[in-house]
Amino acid sequence: EGCREGGGDMAARGAGGLCAQGAGGLALLGLAPGAPSCPHGPALLFVKTSQGREEGRRFYACSACRDRKDCNFFQWEDEKVSEARLAAREEYNRNHQPSFTHRQNVERYNNFVLLPLSKRRFCQECQQLLLPAEWEKHSDHQFLCDVSSAQLKSPSQLLYPLENKKTNAQYLFADRSCQFLLNLIIDLGFRRVLSVGTPRLHEMIQSKASQEEDFRVRSLLLDIDFRYSQFYTEDEFCHYNMFNHYFFGREASYETCRKFLNQDNDERVIMVTDPPFGGLVEALASSFKKLMTMWKETEKEDHNNQEMPMFWIFPYFFESRILEFFPSFSMMDYQVDYDNHALYKHGKTGRRQSPVRIFTNLTPSMIVLPVEEGYRFCAICQRYVSSGNQHCEICDSCTSKDGRRWKHCPLCKKCVKPSWFHCYNCNCCALQNHTCEKTGAGCYVCGKAGHKRSTCPSLS
């Protein structure tokens, strides 16, 4: 299936410009103590690999940007960097920080809402709320005038989605999926939502909280898109890079997040995350485990043998990778769809259906899916499945991943997609017009058979 360029409900940031399997002869080694930084926080450590040879030279690269044109940070691990270059790098990092701090943006917002409607302007080129004194500076830019209070409560619709395929791909939940997630969270008894890269879910919660007196759910948004700091206070938004677990606001932001995870008055917390699908799963998993550790350290309850409840929204073809890092997770059949993505829409058929699913560590039977959309409960699997997902008696499971009815292959001893056929050359099922590969092909790193690059002992 391959990985999609882009991301979920957050600006896409594929660590080091790689797809999820570390393709292209590169492997992620993770965050290293004392790692150098770029404008997106500490860089990640990678290693070059080549088939059948020993591990290559290690280097640091930006954790966030997928294109070297957007952040060209690169440094060999064993490289001696001169004082002049270090000073130039620090200057570069300073110059690439936002024009205003979060606190300044909050003050600007408070002044903006006091303005009459006729004086409320938003610069579409700079993606910035403008105060009257700043109009002249932006005089040759395109304005959005008469910005209403409703628009200010829906910043994800006011801001341009970041859709440059090679740098960002900010796809936002459709109302159907957003409302379903919120209803599910409420029905499951959660009252605090750590929204990691899910701005539309966050704003729906914020909007309901301001309009409905008896609405008790609270949300904290962690996102790399600093534009949201114009609309949310420091208790509602933290500037955060989910690929290196970096809080740009340092200790203050970290403490905001830690306090939010502290379950006062029996308010249960759930984390909902919609990472960019082009990002490295291992980098994401590392950050999510650190957020889980923050939750465990909140002393109110004994969390020793528990994981923070979590919804990880990701394409179904990454299931094995997610389960590799979170064995307690299971994948739900619910199709998550997006407003501004032509392919990721609910209700389409065949390969046009949205491949995005919910992975969770909650008991599958607790996740009730809407019957009116064709989901049904399988009493044997004890979970809700899509209407086309038929229970296989041989596998003893509802095996379909993509909404279509899959077929059982007795030679592969598992169910496969309906368009696949068993290839005796490859000794597995594949598309009928596929190119056969040598069955003896081994690991890309060491050349030996029996394992993939991601689990190669040479990289341990």
Q: Which strands form 330-331's sheet, in the order they lie side by side?
A: 246-247, 237-241, 218-223, 190-196, 268-273, 310-315, 356-360, 330-331
Q: What is the pLDDT of residue 214?
A: 87
| Per-residue pLDDT tens over the stretch 30-77 | 888 889 999 999 999 999 876 656 678 899 999 988 777 778 899 999
Q: What are phi and psi of 385, to 5 degrees?
A: -130, 165
CATH class in words for 102-147: alpha beta
pLDDT above 80: residue 341? no
Question: What confidence tier does 8 reach under pLDDT thresholds 50, 70, 90?
Answer: very low
Question: Domain map of the chain by residue range?
Answer: 24-96, 102-147, 175-368
What are the residues whose beta carbons fall under 8 Å from the beta carbon of 410, sequence distance 6 or more?
394
| Per-residue pLDDT tens over the stretch 280-337 | 899 999 999 999 999 988 765 555 668 899 999 999 999 999 999 999 999 999 999 8
What are the residues whose beta carbons fall under 8 Å from the beta carbon of 186, sequence distance 6 or more?
217
Q: What is the pLDDT of residue 51?
A: 61
pTM (2 d.p.): 0.85
Q: What is the pLDDT of residue 262?
A: 85
Q: What is the pLDDT of residue 110?
A: 96
Hey, what CATH topology would domain 175-368 get?
A: Rossmann fold (3.40.50)
| Per-residue pLDDT tens over the stretch 372-401 | 988 999 999 999 998 888 888 889 888 888
Q: What is the pLDDT of residue 160?
A: 83
* Nearest residue to 276 via CA among 61, 65, 53, 81: 65
The residue length of the chain stands at 460
> What does the DSSP 8-state code read for residue 283?
H
pLDDT above 80: residue 22? no
| Per-residue pLDDT tens over the stretch 149-197 | 999 999 988 888 765 433 345 678 888 999 999 999 999 999 999 999 9
Mean pLDDT of the chain: 84
| Per-residue pLDDT tens over the stretch 112-137 | 999 999 999 999 999 999 999 999 99
Share of the chain above pLDDT 70, in %: 81
> What does the DSSP 8-state code read for residue 392?
E
Q: What is the pLDDT of residue 280?
A: 87
Give the Cα separation of 422 and 415 in Å (integer).
11
